[in-house]
Amino acid sequence: MPAPFDQSRYQVRFEWGAAGLDRVAAADVVVVVDVLRFSTTVATRVADGERVALDAAAHAVSLNGAAVAERAAESGALVLLGGLVNASAVADAVLTEQHRRAERTSILVLAAGELTSRAADAHLRFAVEDLLGAGAVIDALGARGIDHTSPEAAAACEAFRGLRGAVRHLLTASGSGQELIDRGARDEVLAAARVDAMASAPVLRDGAFVAG
C-alpha cells in the first residue's frame, strides 16, 4: 500500500527540499526549483551555451539548490532545473523524456526552499519564489496533458495561476527578494520573475548542467 505522504498515486508530485526526496516515492524525473538564484542563473548560462559544473562554485551560488540537485541525482532520476523563466521549456523536456521512455513517466517537482544558514543544523525556510516557480512548471506540464497531479502539486499550480499577474511584485517584495535587493542585486530578482523568458531546460549529466 502507498505510504500516506509518498504521493505515489499521482504522476506529478510536489515536495520541499532534500528531505522531500525521502518522503515521496522515487520519481523518473525530478525538477529542482530554486528561483533565486540557482535555477535562473544556471538556465541563463546554459542558454548561452555553457556547461555548468555542479561543484563548489555552484554551491556558492545557492545555500540549498545545488545540494538538492545532488541529492536528486543520487536517486537515479533524470534531474532538470526549473523556475519561472523556463517553466514551459522544462515541461517540453519532460514530455520529450516521456515519449523517449514510451511509458507513463513520474515527475517530482521539488522546491528547494532556503536554508537559514550554512550551519549543519540550519532549517529549511519557506520561499514564495520557489512555490511560484514550481507551480509554473506544474501548470506548464498540465498544459501538455501531464496533469494527474497530487493535491500538493495542484495547490502549488493554483498558487501560480492565481498570482501570475503579481509575480514580479511578489518576488521583489518577498524575504528572499528583499535580501538580494539589499545586496544590490535587484536586476537579478527582476530577471528571475520573467515567466517563460528562455527556452533553456538544464539537465544534469555527468556532474554538470547542460542543454536538455
Domain of 62, CATH number, reads 3.90.1560.10
**3-state class of 149 per DSSP?**
strand
Pairwise CA distance, residues 121 & 137, whole Å: 30
Q: What total of structural domains would you count in the chain?
A: 1
- Looking at residue 62, its pLDDT comes to 67
Indicate whether 187 pLDDT > 70: yes
| pLDDT of 61 strictly over 70 | no
Residue 2 lies in a domain: no
Average pLDDT over residues 138-159: 98
In-domain check, residue 200:
yes
Closest CA to 27 of 57, 88, 82, 72: 72
The answer to the question of residue 42 being in a domain is yes
pTM for the structure as a whole: 0.95
Provide the domain limits for residue 89: 12-207
pLDDT of residue 125: 87
Triad 73, 67, 76: Cα angle to 5°? 10
Contacts of 167 (CB under 8 A, 6+ apart): 84, 132, 160, 193, 195
Say if 212 falls within a structural domain. Answer: no
